[in-house]
Amino acid sequence: MTKRAVVKGVGHYLPETIIPNAWFEARLDTSDEWIRTRSGIERRHFAAEGETTSSMALAAARAALADSGLVADDIDAIILATSTPDLTFPATATMVQAGLGMTRGFAFDVQAVCAGFVFALANANALILAGQAERVLVIGAETFSRILDMDDRATCVLFGDGAGALVLEAQEGTGASTDRGILSADLNSDGRHRDMLYVDGGVSTTGTAGVVKMQGNALFRQAVEKLAATADAALAKAGLGHDDVDWIVPHQANIRIIQGTAKKLGMSMDNVVVTVQDHGNTSAASIPLALSVGKARGQINPGDLVVTEAIGGGLAWGAVVLRW
């Protein structure tokens, strides 16, 4: 028998404040049509004053626990992917641990920007396979609205805030690709491309949070190629091919990247979960958000083969293949 990390529940949270494209029209030289055409985004959510990454993560975590039928003390570990922590330290995951009333286990953060949730899933899977944890709560949460330059139309219209969470549980499988759970992961990074997407502040440099800087055209070219390649690599590790895939659940950055990657993989957009129009780019939160929405819509069902893939600053990119 083979141990597998199986999805037990999923949930998400979005702030109440919805920011339509028209909000930017009144402030910048831009338009709803310009934003939709270049990104596919129609609206996004911004955190309210006093709303934090940890508070959104906590709400998503509670939703995922409720969906799984588990309680906080059933969880052995929390891994939270974020680039916008509440504080420099401690880890935002420990704040979620306290908020849940979880008095056992351990919690830590992962930082791989928009690819953060894929990296967090791979780490959670490794903990389960190694016997370090039986149940892991994996969260992606971001308040990117706090690090946007609202005068830079190339970046500020793209991002939003939110959180998504997923509960993984150790279960026995046969070792075959028909097993439920995480079947493979492929992780990559290349620090030579740092300047394509970064924040121009930090503790040891400016002592400030900084704002997002992006080379959009260069990043687009890298994204489609690398996302398709990492999805192929993860499928190959699982002994599977494109025809086996029921759903691609990509990082929701830009509809053109999503479409380009699907085309390169030879997949129909009918098999892609798309939420970018409603949420914008929520960085590490986008994949768990899309998984939760996809399940709620009735798209993702037990037994479905799902490929998640993401790319973010670093550059960091990767994919996870799992059977729901």
pLDDT tens figures, 233-269: 999 999 999 999 999 999 999 999 999 999 999 999 9
Residue 101: pLDDT band by 50, 70, 90 thresholds?
very high
Nearest alpha-carbon partner for 116 in 146, 148, 93, 96: 93
Residue 109: pLDDT band by 50, 70, 90 thresholds?
very high
Q: What is the DSSP string of 237-267?
A: HTT--GGG-SEEEE--S-HHHHHHHHHHHT-
Q: Is 254 tagged catalytic? A: no
- 16 CB neighbour count, 10 Å cutoff: 9
pLDDT tens figures, 156-212: 999 999 999 999 999 999 999 999 999 999 999 999 999 999 999 999 999 999 999
- 300 CB neighbour count, 10 Å cutoff: 22
pLDDT tens figures, 117-160: 999 999 999 999 999 999 999 999 999 999 999 999 999 999 99
Percent of the chain with pLDDT over 90: 98
Distance in angstroms (rounded) separating the CA atoms of residues 86 and 92: 6
Q: Is 45 tagged catalytic? A: no
pLDDT on residue 1:
80
Report the amino acid identity of residue 297.
R
pLDDT on residue 235:
98
The average pLDDT across 26-53 equals 96
The average pLDDT across 46-74 equals 98
∠ CA 16-20-25, nearest 5°, is 140
Encoded tokens for 254? 């830009």
Q: What CA dihedral angle connects 249, 256, 222 and 242, to 10 degrees?
A: 40
Question: Of 12, 251, 254, 279, which is the active-site residue?
Answer: 251
pLDDT on residue 192:
96
Q: Is 251 tagged catalytic? A: yes
Question: Of 114, 123, 193, 279, which is the active-site residue?
Answer: 114
pLDDT tens figures, 276-311: 999 999 999 999 999 999 999 999 999 999 999 999
* Overall residue count recorded for the chain in this entry: 324
Question: Of 123, 125, 254, 281, which is the active-site residue?
Answer: 281
Residue 216: pLDDT band by 50, 70, 90 thresholds?
confident
pLDDT tens figures, 75-97: 999 999 999 999 999 999 999 99
